[in-house]
Amino acid sequence: WPNITEKKDALPDAEEWDGVPDKLQHLER
């Protein structure tokens, strides 16, 4: 796997999800 060398900006709703427990059940696949 290539190394991650640059940081991307957070998604627009990142603050909304900060601290939400059990996020995996909300993940859309």
pLDDT in tens, 1-29: 899 899 988 888 888 778 777 887 878 87
pLDDT score, position 27: 80
b/e sequence 15-25, b meaning 16+ C-beta within 10 Å: eeeeeeeeeee
pLDDT score, position 6: 92
pTM for this model (two decimals) = 0.31
pLDDT score, position 5: 92
pLDDT score, position 25: 80
In 3-state terms, what secondary structure has residue 21?
A: coil
pLDDT score, position 26: 74
